[in-house]
Amino acid sequence: MSSELIVLIVLVLFFLMLAIEMPVAFALGFSGAIGVIMLHSFDVASSVLANVPYESTAKFSLVVIPLYILLGAMATQARIPERIYGLINRVVGRFRGGMAIATIGACGGFAAVSGSSVATAATLGKISVRQMIRHGYRPELATGIVAIGATLGILIPPSIILIMYSIMSGESIEALFSAGIIPGILSAIAYIITALVVLRRQSPVPAEDLVRFAGLDEAVAVGAGRADPMLRQQAEGGGTAVLSKTATSGGSRPSGGSTASSSGSIGSVSLFSEWRSVFWLGAILVAVLMGIFTGTTTLTESAGVASVVALVAVVAEHFKGGVRTVVGKVRDALAETAAVTSMIFAIVIGAGIFAYFLVSARVPNNVSRFFADVDLPPILIVILILVMIIPLGMFLESMAVVVIVVPIVYPTIIELGFDGIWFAILLVKLVEVGLLTPPVGMNCFVISGATGIPLERVFKGVAPFLVCEVVIVAVLIIFPDIVLWLPGVVESMGSSTGP
Amino acid sequence: MNIVLAVWEKGIRPLSRVLGIVSAILCAGLALLLTLEVIFRASTGGGIRGMFEISELVLVMIAFLGFGQAESNKVHVRVSLLTDRLGAPFRLRLQGIALLLCAVFLVWMGSELAMRALESVQTGEFRTGLLNFPVWPGRTFAAVGAGLLALVMLVKGIIMIGGHEAQGGRSANSQEVPAGVI
Amino acid sequence: ADGEETFDLTWTSYTTPNGYYGTAMTDWIEIVEEESEGRVHIEPFHMGSLCATNDGLACVKDGRADIAYTSPAFHPAEFPLANVVTVPFVAQDPVAQTAASQALFDDNAAYQEEFQAQGVRPLYYAPVSTSILGTTEEASSYEDLEGLSVRGTARMLKALEIAGANPSAIAVSEIYESLGNGVIDAWSSTGLDSALTEWNLGEVTGYMTDTDSGSFINVMAVIGEDTWNELPEDIQQIMQGASEQVWGGLEGEYLTDIYDQTCQAADEQGVKLSTWSEEESGMWRDAVGDTLVNDWKSEAEASGADVETFYSDYLAKVEAAEAESDYISPVQHCLDQGIGE
Ligand code: NA
Ligand code: NA
């Protein structure tokens, strides 16, 4: 059997396994292992399974992963994201478009403490979508805004995807992290503009959606659907009244009630507590950035220190609730960190097994050779590579995309004379697209799960933002300095401490 | 079926929960350890001996010991695009088959990891450093984690093929669980 | 028919294709492919893309790869005797150290058995140039090590600790940022060439000195015993010939080329180069004494070998090889050209 045919069979097997709901990690691992049997032998496959899981996990450079997850989980337990959202909302939420700005702004803020897009989507999805729908955003748009805003989680440092890129390519994590900051801010602005344009052009929210997804009373919703000002009044003034309705309408979803209480609490938290959250966010940022810019810690250590700062924030914020509450919150954050870390490493392992299969089937080498032989201007080759990543991103989990793609194309990119840091940011933008497209679009899954809004509608709402992403990628390709300027500054700061 | 359910409720779930708690405590331990390292270095100029090796081992323990609990809570990322469109009886059976396939894979992987761990013990595999740190504990935790997850998948799979939901802690679609982190 | 059979082999390497070993690997493959007239094809995999750094040996043992670049230092339990080279202050000359390793494989039965037990055989050994101490302020004496926060690896960590330094096992890729951040003041256990051409460490440490602590690591290309035995004798000979061509003339083009690039980088990065005096390096050597040799001996004794006999054989081979070798350190090479003064 030719290796091309084996690769094809393994891909089919992989998608079949995905279809019957095998976890992505084990679908990758099992189909990869079967591929190794077909390509080599059962013994070789066994050797892969005996060694790859440990070797791909026991790396000091991966220690930052649980730390950044812990950081995000602790920050959430300290209620930092929702209060930041509340604060921005207080400032700009007075006009209808302000909700979009508040949501994307809060996404950007939380992105700076969260290494992942999905965590950002999960955290802000529950708080913001309901509020936006109440303010006259169609469910498609509201979920689209959170889904795209959450992608800032992997562009603005810290970022697990950039860490993965660093591991696969050998580029410095500091340089990658500093490279993400400016494109991250630019992207946030572009998302806000896109959201405002879509908001102006959309039709009113159907009453049925207001009842189902914003928890509004049917009569109120029907009235509100016709006139936005009334709806706004209802949403702003009647916080508690709306709450009690939510509890009944969310009965079928076991955790619907907690959504209601968390969105309800936005109205009731004091300005003081919101500013306290700004302080905590600032303290965490200082700890994180210490590792990138100056200071006294390595990146791994700064992640550890930042998590401890977030832990202190949890204790301080829940101190009044008693020891039990504090212990409960800390326990929840730790349990979540452990489970999510295991989930990520399961994918790292599965991807490692699958990568061995692909690599030993010579797929990366053949692709590199293909690009070396192709007679096109280098920039067109880069664009071709980026376009080829889109279908992969549609089907594969984003970590798997990086693990599979970087070893294949990174050497080509460097050979063509391009900057590996610049390409990393372009790759992250395409991974973001993958997070937002069917069939495997993690951000959309999480937001659909958190809000009960059907997946198809979430994907539909994301579509305009994908156009926006394409424009941003084009801008970054044309003006690489947007990406490369800050890493250059950071590097010159680092070398200035030398003689 | 009652026996399988009992094994699930009284055996596998509590077991994966205990190892999950160990994994969770180690997460905090790792952050504190790194913070201590920073403090030590700032105050005494010297770091913690064997810091690198210890944090690598802790990482391996966090990752593998949490394997079972992650599945108990259905945190492992999956795609339900097709299965969401199916009726409950058929869906459960399909999901059950998927879990059993996972179990087959994990039994294979777990036994390979166990043999590798045994080999590591026998040869006294270690890495040279300030401390000559043994490799076998890490390999053993990897085998234990994979084995436990195989059990979780197997029992959950049997329950679901029988047409029942295997009750975990929280459901996959619950907003309490970040279904992924990327 | 006999002599017509073709062999499609894979080679996993943990380093870059462009570096020191990458070049040799490419040339070795080219020689073998050419001289076998297409009967052998070898596919290279760089930067751990096929097998992770610490997994190279297992990969070759289990058939996941046919050839691997690895180091005895990665596998102290599997290669207790071969790890004799990891003791600092024993062999001063890296070329002689690798020549001694090859000689051990050629005629020391205990050493051969160690490789047989792992099911692999070395195709060639590659030297790693002597360990450099890179500092932000000039460190020309043994006393300067006292209180220095310095990056090290393996047994060098202990040697640094004995000298009163605070060693840490930071990865080579993290040296640059850790220096910028003040986490460490200095680094060691890296050759001048790799420090300057791969990691640009001259930008953060303006002083690089050869402390004369010797050669304490080497890299080896190993092939699976089964794979080797399947190869016809003429191909085995072609491979052995390629090894001799690539690493036989070690003082030849590879070292000279890489040294010239290194000196150029030292010049561009404005690094001051020096070598410790006999007296200063002697003080460190005396302080370390037999500690590290004894560490190795106790590890190797666990394997049941006659460690003392083996060690004296190794020392004799190193001595013989050092007499033959005209290795000069990269620091000396640059200084001779008037660079780095
Ligand atoms: Na982030
Ligand atoms: Na996708």
- Which of A437, A495, A439, A479 lies closest to A461 in space, CA to CA? A437
Does A25 or C228 have the greater pLDDT score?
Answer: C228
Give the pLDDT band of residue C176 (cuts 50, 70, 90). Answer: confident
Copy the structure tokens of residue A299: 């990146």
Q: Which of A30, A58, A122 minimises the CB distance to B56? A: A58
Beta strands C40-45 and C186-191: pairing type? unpaired
Q: Are C56 and C69 in contact (CB under 8 A)?
A: yes
Give pLDDT tens digits for C83-135. Answer: 999 999 999 889 899 999 999 999 999 999 999 999 999 999 988 888 899 99
Which one of C43, C45, C49, C204 would you mutate to disrupt binding with A, by most A Cβ within 10 Å of its Cβ? C49
Domain for residue B166, yes or no? no
- For position C249, what pLDDT does the model report? 55
Q: Which of A51, A407, A494 minimises the CB distance to C55? A: A51
Domain for residue B152, yes or no? yes
Is A359 in contact with C183 (Cβ distance < 8 A)? no
Q: Which of B46, B51, B128 minimises the CB distance to C76? A: B128
- Residue A466: burial class (beta carbons within 10 Å; 0-12, 13-18, 19+): middle
Domain for residue B167, yes or no? no
Distance of alpha carbon B87 from alpha carbon B106, whole angstroms: 28
Find the mean pLDDT for residues C299-323: 93
Ligand nearest to the CA of A117: 1
In the reported structure, the alpha carbon of residue A33 is separated from the centroid of ligand 2 by a whole-number distance in angstroms of 24
Give the pLDDT band of residue C154 (cuts 50, 70, 90). Answer: confident
Q: Which of C58, C171, C176 minimises the CB distance to A51? A: C58
In the reported structure, the alpha carbon of residue A192 is separated from the centroid of ligand 1 by a whole-number distance in angstroms of 18
Distance of alpha carbon A49 from alpha carbon A167, whole angstroms: 21
Is A118 in contact with B179 (Cβ distance < 8 A)? yes
Count CB pairs under 8 A between chains A and C: 96
Distance of alpha carbon A18 from alpha carbon A330, whole angstroms: 34
The sign of the dihedral angle between the CA atoms of C136, C141, C147, C152 is positive
B130–chain C Cβ distance below 8 A for any pair = yes
Q: What rounded mean pLDDT belongs to chain C?
A: 90
Inform me whether the pLDDT recorded for B181 exceeds 80: no
Domain for residue B171, yes or no? no
Q: Are A125 and A78 in contact (CB under 8 A)?
A: no
How many Å lie between the alpha carbon of C138 and the closest alpha carbon of chain B?
20
ipTM: 0.90
Give pLDDT tens digits for B60-119. Answer: 999 999 999 999 888 787 777 788 788 888 999 999 999 999 999 999 999 999 999 999
- Domain hosting B149: range is 2-161
- For position C197, what pLDDT does the model report? 83
Which chain B residue lies closest to C162 (C-alpha atoms)?
A: B130
Count CB pairs under 8 A between chains A and B: 268
Inform me whether the pLDDT recorded for C300 exceeds 90: yes
Domain for residue B150, yes or no? yes
Chain B neighbors (3+ CB pairs < 8 Å): A, C
A47–chain C Cβ distance below 8 A for any pair = yes
Domain for residue B95, yes or no? yes
- For position B102, what pLDDT does the model report? 97
In the reported structure, the alpha carbon of residue A430 is separated from the centroid of ligand 2 by a whole-number distance in angstroms of 10
Is C207 in contact with A41 (Cβ distance < 8 A)? no
* Distance set, CA C189 to CA A377, C171, C254, C327 (Å): 42, 11, 21, 19
Which chain C residues are within 8 Å of B122, Cβ to Cβ? none
The sign of the dihedral angle between the CA atoms of A107, A112, A113, A114 is positive
Which chain C residues are within 8 Å of A47, Cβ to Cβ? 58-59, 61-64
- For position C327, what pLDDT does the model report? 84
- For position C153, what pLDDT does the model report? 87
In the reported structure, the alpha carbon of residue A463 is separated from the centroid of ligand 2 by a whole-number distance in angstroms of 12
Ligand nearest to the CA of A439: 2
In the reported structure, the alpha carbon of residue C119 is separated from the centroid of ligand 2 by a whole-number distance in angstroms of 44
Is B82 in contact with A19 (Cβ distance < 8 A)? yes
Find the mean pLDDT for residues C274-284: 95
In the reported structure, the alpha carbon of residue B177 is separated from the centroid of ligand 2 by a whole-number distance in angstroms of 20
How many residues appear in chain B? 182
- For position B80, what pLDDT does the model report? 74
Which chain A residues are within 8 Å of B79, Cβ to Cβ? 18-19, 21, 24, 439-440
Reported as half-sphere exposure (CB side, CA atoms, 13 A), residue C156 has a value of: 26
- The radius of gyration of chain C's CA atoms, rounded to the nearest angstrom, is 20
Question: How far is C-alpha A246 from the chain's CA centre?
Answer: 28
How many Å lie between the alpha carbon of C97 and the closest alpha carbon of chain A?
30
Assign C168 to helix, strand or coil: strand
Distance of alpha carbon A155 from alpha carbon A181, whole angstroms: 7
Domain for residue B6, yes or no? yes
Q: Are A149 and A108 in contact (CB under 8 A)?
A: yes
- What percent of chain C has a predicted confidence (pLDDT) above 90? 67
Does B42 or C85 have the greater pLDDT score?
Answer: C85
Its pTM stands at 0.84
Classify residue C194 by its DSSP letter: I
Give pLDDT tens digits for A382-432. Answer: 999 998 888 877 766 677 678 778 877 887 898 888 999 999 999 999 988
The three state secondary structure string of chain A is CCHHHHHHHHHHHHHHHHHCCCCHHHHHHHHHHHHHHHHCCHHHHHHHHHHHHHHHHCCHHHCHHHHHHHHHHHHHHCCHHHHHHHHHHHHHCCCCCHHHHHHHHHHHHHHCCCCCHHHHHHHHHHHHHHHHHHCCCCHHHHHHHHHHHHCHHHHCCCCHHHHHHHHHHCCCHHHHHHHHHHHHHHHHHHHHHHHHHHHHHCCCCCHHHHHHHHCCCHHHHHHHHHCHHHHHHHHHHCHHHHHHHHHHHCCCCCCHHHHHHHHHHHHHCCHHHHHHHHHHHHHHHHHHHHHHCCCCCCHHHHHHHHHHHHHHHHHHHHHHHCHHHHHHHHHHHHHHHHHHHHHHHHHHHHHHHHHHHHHHCCHHHHHHHHHHHCCCCHHHHHHHHHHHHHHHHHHCCHHHHHHHHHHHHHHHHHHCCCCHHHHHHHHHHHHHHHHHCCCCCHHHHHHHHHHCCCHHHHHHHHHHHHHHHHHHHHHHHHCCHHHHHHHHHHHHHHHCCCC
Domain for residue B179, yes or no? no
- For position C252, what pLDDT does the model report? 60
- For position A24, what pLDDT does the model report? 82
Which one of C55, C145, C168 would you mutate to disrupt binding with B, by most B Cβ within 10 Å of its Cβ? C168
Which chain B residues are within 8 Å of C304, Cβ to Cβ? none
The residue whose two tokens read 């160690």 is C114
Q: Which helix (H) or strand (E) holds B28?
A: helix B13-44
End-to-end Cα spacing for chain B: 37
Which chain B residue lies closest to A307 (C-alpha atoms)?
A: B31
Is B76 in contact with A343 (Cβ distance < 8 A)? yes
Q: CA C212, C213, C218: angle at the middle one, nearest 5?
A: 115
Q: Which of A116, A255, A341 minimises the CB distance to B175? A: A255
C289–chain B Cβ distance below 8 A for any pair = no
Which chain A residues are within 8 Å of B181, Cβ to Cβ? 69, 72, 115-116, 118-119, 160, 340, 343-344
How many Å lie between the alpha carbon of A376 and the closest alpha carbon of chain B?
34
- Report the b/e string of C155-174 with b at 16+ CB within 10 A: bbbbbbbbbebbbbbbebbb
Chain C neighbors (3+ CB pairs < 8 Å): A, B
How many Å lie between the alpha carbon of B133 and the closest alpha carbon of chain C?
11
Q: What is the pLDDT along chain A (499 residues), one digit of tens a residue?
A: 899 999 999 999 998 998 898 988 899 899 999 999 999 999 999 999 999 999 989 988 788 888 988 988 898 899 888 888 888 888 887 788 898 999 999 899 888 888 878 778 877 887 788 888 988 899 999 999 999 999 998 999 888 888 878 877 878 777 898 999 999 999 999 999 999 999 999 888 888 888 888 777 766 665 554 444 444 444 443 333 332 333 333 333 333 333 333 344 444 567 888 889 889 988 988 887 776 666 567 778 888 999 999 999 999 999 989 999 999 999 999 998 898 889 888 988 998 898 899 889 988 778 778 887 888 899 999 999 998 888 877 766 677 678 778 877 887 898 888 999 999 999 999 988 888 987 667 788 778 877 888 888 999 999 999 999 999 999 999 999 999 999 888 776 654 433 3
- For position C290, what pLDDT does the model report? 95
C52–chain B Cβ distance below 8 A for any pair = no
Number of domains in chain B: 1
Is C157 in contact with B47 (Cβ distance < 8 A)? no
